[in-house]
Amino acid sequence: MSNATAETAPLMFQAPSDALLRVEDVALSFGQVRALKTVTMHARRGEVTAIVGDNGAGKSTLVRCISGVHRPDSGVIEFDGAPVNFRSPEDAREEGIETVHQNLALVEDLTVWQNLFLNRELMRGFGPVKFLDRRAMKREAATMVSSLAVNVPPVASRVRRLSGGQRQAVSICRAAGFTSKLIIMDEPTAALGVQETARVEELIQRLRDEGHAIILISHNFDQVLRLSDAVWVMRAGRCVAGRRTAEIDGDEIVGLVTGARPGDLPAEKLQGDLT
Ligand SMILES: Nc1ncnc2c1ncn2[C@@H]1O[C@H](COP(=O)(O)OP(=O)(O)O)[C@@H](O)[C@H]1O
Ligand SMILES: [Mg+2]
């Protein structure tokens, strides 16, 4: 509501030239439900970009547009300097966008290394005769897992035997390997205990320090303040505010999420809310 905020904050809606991801005026409806009305935001390399908002605000729908699950009805998504129009999550993955799913999407009956290489198996052989290179996959999996902050059992153990935190670590490891540039995490610690959460947070910080861009959806505002470099607040299908995390506090986040604070969008972008 303060004028200072209204004058300075809209600058966040102008993506810097070095932004890895730029989303501009993206809209998506499911039938009558306008899940995304018009969303503008961006994310940078080497930063954790948080997205917060109430249930139903459109957070998951937005990241599903970025990761190729949904195709926006309108708007522009630019990634690494070029407009993209992903037709599937595989398309997005090829460009370096990986997602860690909310529901810990690992296959219980496969081992850690098999999960890490699921759908991107290493092959060996010549010409048309190809074999799975199990030895190489186990070796690489061991290297990937050994770099984790979380204690993960041998790569030959079945995922069924892992704790929630270990599973999440394997999911993140899977997303972080394989030349990803942007890693999207939708509530990565929602199902975890305090200690496991701390470990996963360490892992997120390490990936950030290695130069990955991370998009973190979280309901835990303390976690957002602790981990993120920038925060976008979604409300009713819009990003209503974007801030550097250093310049926002918990009260302001809560106000923006609930609507007690109006946010920074110019009036013309808010039209249509009464329809
Ligand atoms: N596949 C879908 N089909 C129909 N409606 C959907 C679908 N996905 C999300 N929605 C609706 O879009 C809105 C935004 O949902 P969502 O993006 O999941 O919000 P959030 O992740 O912020 O809780 C909600 O009203 C939700 O019911
Ligand atoms: Mg969601």
Q: How high is the pLDDT of residue 1?
A: 46
E-assigned strands of the chain? Answer: 21-30, 33-43, 48-53, 74-79, 82-83, 97-100, 123-126, 129-132, 182-186, 213-217, 230-235, 238-244
Residue 5 has pLDDT above 70, yes or no: no
Q: How high is the pLDDT of residue 104?
A: 58
Atom of ligand 1 nearest to the CA of 237: 14
- Complete domains list, the chain, with CATH: 3-106+180-270 (3.40.50.300)
Residue 19 has pLDDT above 50, yes or no: yes
Residue 271 has pLDDT above 80, yes or no: no
Q: Is the CB of 35 under 6 A from ligand 1?
A: yes
The 10s digit of each residue's pLDDT in 35-93 is: 999 999 999 999 999 999 999 999 999 999 999 999 999 999 999 999 999 999 989 99
Strand 21-30 to 230-235 pairing: unpaired
d(CA 30, ligand 1 centre) in Å: 8
Q: Is the CB of 190 under 6 A from ligand 1?
A: no
Mean pLDDT of the chain: 87
The 10 Å Cβ neighbour count of residue 24 is: 16
The 10s digit of each residue's pLDDT in 118-150 is: 877 888 887 778 888 889 989 988 887 776 656
Strand 230-235 to 238-244 pairing: antiparallel
Q: Is the CB of 30 under 6 A from ligand 1?
A: yes
Instruction: Give CA–CA dist 42/49, Å, rounded.
Output: 8
The 10s digit of each residue's pLDDT in 206-253 is: 889 989 999 999 999 999 999 999 999 999 999 999 999 999 999 999
Do residues 138 and 113 lie in contact, with contact meaning Cβ atoms separated by under 8 Å? yes
Instruction: Give CA–CA dist 211/200, Å, rounded.
Output: 17
Residue 171 has pLDDT above 70, yes or no: yes
